[in-house]
């Protein structure tokens, strides 16, 4: 029980910090609430889908921006828009914020600006991925120790 | 149990809104999963798909299989707004749009296209929980459309009304009262359906082309102003159809027409002289399918008109165009309120344009057809009415009419929109055209034709636009723009070919459209469309006939299945 309590406390603290630092917003909490007995791994599954989608979109953007003969900004913008939508699904606030800036650069057809944003987005995405993986690991540990995942409001 | 076949009344509805059948369309896999989970938590029955096309297929396969559709605005294969239109037209289901982009213009666009709500992502579960209200509301409105309730039906209603929705726990606490009221209304609806022997509404009515044509015909006969579901129903004489069906269809038709109007207006504004090279193509105008040439340049397809810029397309257009034209005509037609008076008071609104266009086309067509076939019977459309409409357009096409007389026309601006009100013009034109055309388009010479063409072109364009608009709405594909393009082409071709367009068909279409203003080009019956004899040279000979029909505002040719289909294919491709 002690172990479980400790783990749970860790989990709560870590969750809170993620929220505080803007990595996750309320949407993530909503997802956690959706998780139930019917779908016990709901949050993890959603996160996996998000990571997959993210990687695909980032690759698309990178490819489009690499075009020497002329960048198709519409295409880049479309991908950014999709990424924005995706990040809103899981509550990835920081990723979403970069997307907003990214879109303005696309509109302005500013390749340099876009490349910078792409870098930022990639960075934010990696950070988030690591943090979520840590969180999920904690969750697993709690469950393995017989405890339940606390819901952080 | 009261609940039976009608949309709402199925066993699962015992605890409405539980079991609400939702179709979610989103290309984002993460959101699709989340939405599915949220909706399931609301006890709804969820179906997901990530492609708009797939969604349409699902909806078509099971016409009565869903209660509501939720779709994202941005999708790779089709614009969410187009999907929205298709669903609204074909299935008459409430559609909710979603997007991470909440710009006012986008939201407005959604509403304009018929969305009953627009949700911003991230979507909360409580927003999804209440989507049943849209389904309910639609039902109620359909019910209200019914002109009268039989006495015994009311009694039944009251009696069983309270049984349904007993289970009010899906309504949030504060909604209970209003919910109860709504429930009663809904029950009423269900009851009516059940108790009315003539209403066998088990599944959603599929508005095939034929059915729609009957509908449009009836509306025209009654007069757009005085139209009402019961009158239409009586005229249509379709035993299994209910007033409700007609009422909701009428509603959509009206919306559709007004939408087309707007679009045609826009189109008209920039149509200008798109047609660049059509004329040459069509000189041979084999007017073939007249089809409601009236409005839609489609009639032209008869060969000469290849409306679309490309000849091949034109040919198709003939067939399709007709349909499309019809559609278009309807759109513009919608505006003119007067049933028969084609008085399209508008302006350049697409409607008038269309109308005029149609007419002009009609006249042109007739003229053309005439010319080619040397028929002696001038298209005697009951143009009287039409002229008004036609003329409204500032379109030159009106000139066509006048022009016909002169054929190479540019003739008297009588045809001009305003002036054209008089039907007389139409007739004289026809006669004139006849004489002018005697030689066939060929001899007339390109220039000759052109003058008319340009006029007709503008009309055509408009018509096309309308048609396109119509088509798009009708077709599931991104017809919209394509259609417009096609229509424009068609129109151009029409123009080009001079007046080969079988006026008869056009006039019919036009007339129908005008009168009703409700032309509702629905692609409902695409598959049911039978190719009219558009391609048939023999048709030309029949032109006078058609014209006559047109005069009677007979929609029958409104939709040219073949045209429809052809165009559709192109679009889909």
> Which of residues B125, B147, B169 is at a domain's end?
B147
Nearest-Cα distance to chain A for B70, in Å, is: 16
pLDDT for B103 beyond 50: yes
Tell me what the pLDDT averaged over chain B comes to: 57
Which residue has better confidence, B17 or B471? Answer: B17
Q: Is A34 in the B-facing interface, judged by CB distances under 8 Å?
A: yes
Q: Give the per-residue pLDDT at B221.
A: 84
Nearest-Cα distance to chain A for B33, in Å, is: 7
Supply the CATH number for residue B71's domain: 3.40.50.2300
Among all chains, which residue has been given the structure tokens 């001038």? B378
> Does B120 lie in the same domain as B28?
yes
Residue-wise pLDDT for A12-33, tens only, equals 999 999 999 999 999 999 999 8
Q: Mean pLDDT highest for which of B69-78, B143-152, B185-194, B554-563?
A: B69-78
Contacts for A123 with CB less than 8 Å, ≥ 6 apart: none
DSSP string, B264-323: HHHHHHHHTT---SHHHHHTT------SSTBT-GGGTTTTTT--SSSHHHHHHIIIIIHH
Count other Cβ atoms within 10 Å, centred on residue A67: 12
Nearest chain B residue to A100 by CA: give it: B101
Is B116 a member of any domain?
A: yes
Is B192 a member of any domain?
A: no
Q: Give the per-residue pLDDT at A137.
A: 93
> Does B112 lie in the same domain as B39?
yes
| Model confidence band, residue B204 (pLDDT cutoffs 50, 70, 90) | low
Please report the ipTM that was assigned to this predicted complex. 0.93
Is B239 a member of any domain?
A: yes
Mean pLDDT computed over B83-109: 88
Q: CA A30, CA A36: separation in Å to the nearest integer?
A: 12
CB pair distance less than 8 Å for B30 and A39 = no
Cα dihedral B239→B244→B246→B249 (10° resolution):
-140
| Model confidence band, residue B423 (pLDDT cutoffs 50, 70, 90) | very low
Q: Give the per-residue pLDDT at B203.
A: 54
Residue-wise pLDDT for A38-63, tens only, equals 888 999 999 999 999 999 999 999 99
> Does B132 lie in the same domain as B60?
yes
Q: CA B182, CA B176: separation in Å to the nearest integer?
A: 9
Among all chains, which residue has been given the structure tokens 């005085």? B226
CB pair distance less than 8 Å for A46 and B101 = no
Nearest-Cα distance to chain B for A50, in Å, is: 6
| Domains in chain B, number | 2
SS3 B217: helix
Alpha carbon B413 to its chain's center: 30
pLDDT for B11 beyond 80: no
Q: Give the per-residue pLDDT at B570.
A: 44
Residue-wise pLDDT for A91-104, tens only, equals 999 999 999 999 99
Q: At what angle do helices B350-373 and B537-551 cross, to 10 degrees?
A: 130
Q: Give the per-residue pLDDT at B102.
A: 86
Which residue has better confidence, B59 or B408? Answer: B59
Is B528 a member of any domain?
A: no
* Beta-strand pair B95-99/B45-49: unpaired
Q: Which of residues 102-141 of B touch A (CB under 8 A)?
A: 121-122, 124-125
H or E stretch at B46: strand B45-49
| Model confidence band, residue B208 (pLDDT cutoffs 50, 70, 90) | confident
Domain that holds residue B59: 21-147
Is B334 a member of any domain?
A: no
Cα dihedral B259→B263→B268→B274 (10° resolution):
-140
> Does B221 lie in the same domain as B134?
no
Q: What angle do CA B77, B80, B83 make, to 5 degrees?
A: 85
Q: What residues of A are in contact with residue B30 (Cβ under 8 Å)?
A: 46, 49-50, 53, 86, 89-90
pTM of the predicted model as reported, rounded to 2 decimal places: 0.47
* Sign of the torsion formed by the C-alpha atoms of A45, A49, A50 and A55: positive
CB pair distance less than 8 Å for B122 and A27 = yes
Q: Give the per-residue pLDDT at A141.
A: 92
Residue-wise pLDDT for B339-365, tens only, equals 333 333 333 333 433 333 334 333 333
Supply the CATH number for residue B239's domain: 1.10.10.60
CB B318 within 8 A of CB B303: yes
What's phi and psi for A104, nearest 5 deg? -65, -35
Q: CA B58, CA B80: separation in Å to the nearest integer?
A: 16
Among all chains, which residue has been given the structure tokens 């002169």? B406
| Domains in chain A, number | 1
Is B80 a member of any domain?
A: yes
Is B511 a member of any domain?
A: no
Is A88 a member of any domain?
A: yes
Q: Mean pLDDT highest for which of B8-12, B209-213, B377-381, B549-553?
A: B209-213
pLDDT for B3 beyond 80: no
Q: In the 8-state DSSP scheme, what is residue B210?
A: H
> Which of residues B266, B297, B332 is at a domain's end?
B266
Q: Is B29 in the A-facing interface, judged by CB distances under 8 Å?
A: yes
pLDDT for B375 beyond 70: no
> Which of residues B100, B127, B147 is at a domain's end?
B147
Which residue has better confidence, B241 or B386? Answer: B241
CB B329 within 8 A of CB B292: yes
**Residue B390 structure tokens:** 């036609």
- A47-56, A106-115, A142-151, B186-195 — which is least confidently predicted? B186-195
pLDDT over 90 percentage in chain B: 12
CB pairs under 8 A between A and B: 55
Would you call B105 exposed, middle or buried from its count of C-beta atoms within 10 A (0-12, 13-18, 19+)?
Answer: exposed
Mean pLDDT computed over B109-132: 90
Domain that holds residue A76: 1-145
Among A36, A38, A89, select the one facing B28 at the smallest CB separation: A89
Q: Is A39 in the B-facing interface, judged by CB distances under 8 Å?
A: yes
Q: Give the per-residue pLDDT at A88.
A: 93
Q: Is B72 in the A-facing interface, judged by CB distances under 8 Å?
A: yes
Tell me chain A's radius of gyration from C-alpha atoms.
18
Is B222 a member of any domain?
A: yes
Supply the CATH number for residue A128's domain: 1.20.120.160
């Amino acid at each position: 029980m002690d172990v479980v309590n400790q783990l749970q406390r860790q989990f709560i603290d870590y969750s809170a910090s993620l929220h505080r630092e803007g990595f996750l917003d309320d949407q993530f909490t909503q997802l956690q609430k959706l998780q139930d007995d019917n779908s016990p791994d709901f949050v993890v599954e959603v996160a996996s889908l998000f990571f997959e989608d993210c990687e695909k979109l980032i690759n698309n953007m990178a490819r489009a921006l690499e075009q020497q003969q002329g960048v198709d900004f519409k295409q880049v913008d479309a991908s950014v828009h999709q990424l924005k939508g995706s990040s809103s699904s899981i509550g990835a606030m920081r990723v979403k914020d970069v997307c907003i800036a990214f879109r303005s650069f696309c509109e302005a057809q500013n390749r340099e600006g876009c490349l910078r944003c792409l870098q930022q987005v990639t960075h934010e995405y990696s950070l988030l991925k690591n943090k979520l993986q840590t969180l999920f690991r904690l969750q697993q540990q709690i469950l393995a120790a017989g405890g339940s995942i606390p819901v952080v409001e | 149990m009261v609940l039976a076949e009608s949309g709402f009344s199925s066993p699962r509805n015992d605890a409405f809104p539980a079991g609400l059948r939702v179709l979610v369309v989103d290309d984002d896999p993460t959101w699709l999963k989340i939405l599915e989970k949220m909706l399931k938590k609301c006890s709804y029955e969820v179906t997901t798909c990530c492609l708009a096309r797939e969604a349409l297929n699902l909806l078509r396969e099971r016409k009565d299989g869903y209660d509501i559709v939720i779709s994202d605005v941005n999708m790779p294969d089709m614009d969410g707004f187009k999907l929205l239109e298709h669903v609204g037209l074909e299935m008459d289901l409430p559609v909710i749009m979603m997007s991470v982009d909440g710009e006012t213009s986008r939201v407005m666009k959604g509403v304009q296209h018929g969305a009953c709500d627009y949700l911003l992502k991230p979507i909360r579960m409580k927003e999804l929980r209440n989507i049943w209200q849209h389904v309910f509301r639609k039902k109620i409105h359909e019910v209200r459309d019914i002109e009268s309730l039989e006495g015994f039906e009311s009694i039944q209603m009251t009696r069983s009304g309270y049984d349904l929705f007993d289970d009010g726990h899906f309504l949030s606490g504060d909604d209970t009262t209003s919910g109860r009221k709504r429930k009663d209304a809904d029950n009423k609806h269900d009851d009516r359906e059940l108790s009315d022997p003539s209403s066998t509404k088990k599944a959603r009515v599929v508005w095939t082309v034929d059915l729609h044509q009957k509908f449009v015909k009836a509306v025209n006969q009654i007069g757009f102003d005085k139209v009402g579901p019961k009158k239409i129903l009586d005229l249509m004489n379709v035993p299994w159809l209910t007033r409700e069906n007609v009422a909701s269809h009428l509603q959509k038709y009206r919306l559709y027409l007004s939408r087309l109007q707007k679009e045609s207006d826009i189109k008209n504004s920039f149509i200008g002289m798109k047609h660049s090279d059509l004329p040459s193509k069509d000189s041979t105008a084999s007017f073939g399918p007249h089809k409601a040439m009236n409005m839609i340049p489609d009639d032209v397809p008869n060969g000469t008109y290849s409306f679309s810029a490309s000849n091949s397309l034109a040919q198709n257009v003939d067939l399709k165009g007709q349909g499309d034209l019809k559609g278009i005509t309807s759109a513009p037609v919608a505006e003119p309120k007067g049933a028969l008076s084609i008085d399209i008071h508008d302006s350049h609104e697409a409607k008038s344009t269309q109308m005029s266009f149609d007419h002009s086309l009609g006249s042109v067509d007739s003229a053309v057809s005439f010319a080619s076939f040397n028929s002696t019977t001038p298209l005697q459309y009951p143009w009287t009415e039409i002229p008004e409409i036609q003329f409204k357009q500032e379109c030159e096409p009106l000139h066509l009419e006048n022009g016909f007389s002169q054929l190479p026309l540019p003739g008297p601006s009588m045809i001009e929109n305003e002036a054209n009100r008089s039907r007389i013009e139409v007739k004289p034109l026809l006669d004139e055209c006849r004489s002018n055309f005697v030689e066939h388009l060929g001899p007339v010479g390109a220039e000759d034709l052109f003058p008319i063409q340009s006029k007709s072109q503008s009309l055509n364009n408009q018509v096309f636009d309308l048609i396109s608009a119509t088509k798009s709405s009708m077709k599931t594909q991104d017809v919209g723009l394509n259609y417009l393009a096609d229509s424009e082409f068609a129109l151009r071709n029409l123009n080009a070919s001079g007046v080969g367009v079988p006026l008869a068909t056009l006039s019919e279409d036009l007339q129908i459209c005008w009168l009703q203003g409700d032309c509702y080009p629905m692609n409902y019956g695409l598959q049911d469309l039978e190719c009219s004899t558009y391609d048939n040279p023999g048709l030309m000979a029949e032109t006078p006939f058609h014209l006559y029909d047109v005069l009677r505002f007979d929609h029958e040719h409104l939709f040219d299945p073949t045209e429809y289909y052809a165009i559709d294919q192109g679009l889909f491709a």
